[in-house]
């Protein structure tokens, strides 16, 4: 089971429109202060890697009894150790890179006399979570996508060992005093960005029941509470269906109008839906007269499209949650009709009670695995 535990980054989300010091306001809690901010889900890191230098070649001559003018015997320097990034399925966050950001590879040993070559420096293998995208720290150009377990990338190439003077003997120069220095290891600044691996992304306004839903259908246990922005970081949950079928759901923090401009928690977590193949869009009735499920739906769609057109174009299922509440159940017919007028079939569920969930999961499965067209 994949399960990510939370946290929020050091950046305080600019959610609250309440002026500092204000004590009033509906359901406001001091959520973004204090040690609760220290979380363990880190999805961006900047690291500096420097591969090992190659060892210098050696200048030496063979000296043995009864063997005058023994000739050159300086061996080659060993190659420098490279820095390798390895996609490790055991990791779920880039947290380690908060504490260690500089990585230095081992240098190659210098060549020695008696034709001995220097030992090569060992490669330094740095494990990163599967789904890490590696970018150049300066140009931000994507270099590599460590999207599958066990995939490796040479992040910095070790230096070459210099040749010793045994390579420089010629017919006219039998005692060369020349050897090459090793070349320096490659140094690079890298930007690591984690994009979680999920099949289906759950989107919607805050407080509509996204986390309740993932908690009901998987073993993910995100915090659930009756106020907006309970979820501050993405959660993954594995949904198990009969016949060994399974898929991964991702619950990301809720979106509000203007999220792409930074409102609420913004859209920084939407990158975790970049690899999803389908979306599960949750709406419900709130007590707020300004809100309406169809309008909420359209606002969230607009935010998705502002972030990434391709993401907005994914196949989608729209659910009306909280059907156990009588006011929701009684407005289903009218809402379904309004959604239908937009070409959307509204699926009724109760994430808390479980009604409609088995059928919903089967629909999601079908969406992920469409029957091949003949």
Ligand X SMILES: Nc1nc2c(ncn2[C@@H]2O[C@H](COP(=O)(O)OP(=O)(O)OP(=O)(O)O)[C@@H](O)[C@H]2O)c(=O)[nH]1
Query: If contact means CB under 5 to 8 A according to the sort of partner, which of ligand X, Mg ion, none does residue 207 touch?
Result: ligand X
Query: If contact means CB under 5 to 8 A according to the sort of partner, which of Mg ion, ligand X, none does residue 212 touch?
Result: ligand X
Nearer to Mg ion, 41 or 97 (CB): 41
| Placement of tokens 């050159």 in the chain | 72
Nearer to ligand X, 87 or 214 (CB): 214
Nearer to Mg ion, 159 or 237 (CB): 237
Nearer to ligand X, 91 or 224 (CB): 224
Query: If contact means CB under 5 to 8 A according to the sort of partner, which of ligand X, Mg ion, none does residue 275 touch?
Result: none
Is position 230 an interface residue for Mg ion (rule: CB under 5 A)?
Answer: yes
Give the β-pairing of 132-136 and 187-194.
antiparallel
Q: Which residues of this protein are in contact with ligand X, per CB under 6 A? A: 206-212, 224-226, 228-231, 253-254, 321-322, 324-325, 350-353
Q: Which two tokens stand for residue 241?
A: 């269906």
Looking at 231, 321, 322, 350, which residue binds Mg ion (CB under 5 A)? 231
Report the C-alpha gap between 167 and 189 in whole angstroms: 36
Binding segment for Mg ion (CB under 5 A), chosen from 227-235, 240-248, 304-312, 356-364, is 227-235
Binding segment for Mg ion (CB under 5 A), chosen from 40-48, 85-93, 133-141, 231-239, is 231-239
Beta bridge partners of 48: 102, 189
Nearer to ligand X, 132 or 350 (CB): 350
Query: If contact means CB under 5 to 8 A according to the sort of partner, which of Mg ion, ligand X, none does residue 309 touch?
Result: none
For binding to Mg ion (CB under 5 A), which residues are involved?
211, 230-231
């Amino acid at each position: 089971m994949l399960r990510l535990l939370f946290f929020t980054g050091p950046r305080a989300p600019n959610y609250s429109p309440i002026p500092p010091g204000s004590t009033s306001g509906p359901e406001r809690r001091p959520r973004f202060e204090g040690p609760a901010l220290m979380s363990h889900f880190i999805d961006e890191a900047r690291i500096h890697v420097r591969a090992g230098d190659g060892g210098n070649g050696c200048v030496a001559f063979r000296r043995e009894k009864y063997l005058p003018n023994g000739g050159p015997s300086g061996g080659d320097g060993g190659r420098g150790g490279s820095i390798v990034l390895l996609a490790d399925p055991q990791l779920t966050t880039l947290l380690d890179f908060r504490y260690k950001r500089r990585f230095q590879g081992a240098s190659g040993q210098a060549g020695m006399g008696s034709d001995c070559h220097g030992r090569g420096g060992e490669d330094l293998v740095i494990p990163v979570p599967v789904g890490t995208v590696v970018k150049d720290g300066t140009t931000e150009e994507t270099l590599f996508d460590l999207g599958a377990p066990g995939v490796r990338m040479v992040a910095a190439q070790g230096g070459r060992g210099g040749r010793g003077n045994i390579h420089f003997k010629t017919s006219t120069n039998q005692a060369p005093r020349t050897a090459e220095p090793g070349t320096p290891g490659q140094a690079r600044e890298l930007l690591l960005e984690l994009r979680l691996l999920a099949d289906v992304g759950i989107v919607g306004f805050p407080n509509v029941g996204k986390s309740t839903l993932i908690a009901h259908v998987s073993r993910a246990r995100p915090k659930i509470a009756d106020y907006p922005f309970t979820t501050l970081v993405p959660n993954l949950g594995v949904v198990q269906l009969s016949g060994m079928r399974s898929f991964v759901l991702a619950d990301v923090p809720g979106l509000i109008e203007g999220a792409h401009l930074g409102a609420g928690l913004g859209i920084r977590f939407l990158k975790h839906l970049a690899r999803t193949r389908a979306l599960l869009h949750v709406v419900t009735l709130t007590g707020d007269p300004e809100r309406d499920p169809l309008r909420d739906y359209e606002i969230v769609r607009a935010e998705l499209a502002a972030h990434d057109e391709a993401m907005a174009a994914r196949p989608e299922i729209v659910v009306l949650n909280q059907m156990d509440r009588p006011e929701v159940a009684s407005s289903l017919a009218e809402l379904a009709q309004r959604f239908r007028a937009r070409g959307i079939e509204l699926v009724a569920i109760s994430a808390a009670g479980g009604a409609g969930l088995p059928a919903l999961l089967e629909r999601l499965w079908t969406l992920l695995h469409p029957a091949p067209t003949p």
